[in-house]
A = this chain, B = another copy of it.
Amino acid sequence: MTDPAALIADMTVRARHAAQQLAATPTRVKAQAVSNAAEAIRAATGAILAANERDVAQAQEAGLSGAMIDRLQLNPARIDAMASGVEAVAALADPVGATMDERTRPNGLVLTRVRVPIGVIGIVYESRPNVTADAAALCVMAGNAVILRGGSEASESNRAIHAALVAGLAAGGLPADVVQLVPTADRAVVGAMLKAEGGIDLLVPRGGKGLVARVQAEARVPVLAHLDGINHIYVDRSADPEMAREIVVNAKMRRTGVCGAMETLLIDRAYPDAPALVTALRDAGCEVRGDPGLSAAIPGLPVASDEDWDTEYLDAIASAALVDGVEEAIAHIARHGSHHTDAIVAADSAVAERFISSVDSAIVLWNASTQFADGGEFGLGAEIGIATGRLHARGPVALEGLTTYKWVGRGTGQVRA
Please measure, in the bound complex, the distance between the C-alpha atom of A409 and the C-alpha atom of B372, giving whole angstroms.
9
Check A20–B406 contact: CB distance below 8 A. no
Please measure, in the bound complex, the distance between the C-alpha atom of A406 and the C-alpha atom of B109, giving whole angstroms.
33
Check A415–B118 contact: CB distance below 8 A. no
The residue among A103, A243, A368, A396 with the most chain B CB atoms within 10 A of its own CB is A368
Report B-chain residues with C-beta under 8 Å of the C-beta of A409: 363-366, 368, 372
Report B-chain residues with C-beta under 8 Å of the C-beta of A396: 407
Please measure, in the bound complex, the distance between the C-alpha atom of A377 and the C-alpha atom of B415, giving whole angstroms.
11
Contact A379 B103, CB 8 Å, known A334-B20, A363-B407: yes
Report B-chain residues with C-beta under 8 Å of the C-beta of A109: 368, 372
Q: How far is the CB of A36 from chain B (nearest CB, A)?
A: 24
Check A389–B222 contact: CB distance below 8 A. yes
Please measure, in the bound complex, the distance between the C-alpha atom of A367 and the C-alpha atom of B410, giving whole angstroms.
7
Contact A407 B362, CB 8 Å, known A254-B416, A377-B105, A391-B392: yes
- Give the oligomeric copy count: 2
Check B363–A415 contact: CB distance below 8 A. no
The A contact surface, by secondary structure, is mixed
Please measure, in the bound complex, the distance between the C-alpha atom of A361 and the C-alpha atom of B407, giving whole angstroms.
8
Q: How far is the CB of A248 from chain B (nearest CB, A)?
A: 10
Check B378–A407 contact: CB distance below 8 A. yes
Interface CB pairs A-B, < 8 A, 10:
A20-B334, A103-B379, A118-B390, A222-B390, A222-B391, A361-B406, A363-B407, A366-B409, A366-B410, A377-B416
Residues on A facing B (Cβ under 8 Å)? 20, 23-24, 103, 105, 109, 111, 116, 118-119, 201-202, 222, 240, 243, 246-247, 250-251, 254, 334, 352, 356-358, 360-369, 371-372, 377-379, 389-392, 394-396, 404-416
Query: Which 8 A-B pairs rank lowest in CB-CB distance, beginning with the nearest?
Result: A368-B411, A250-B415, A371-B416, A243-B413, A392-B392, A391-B392, A365-B409, A367-B411
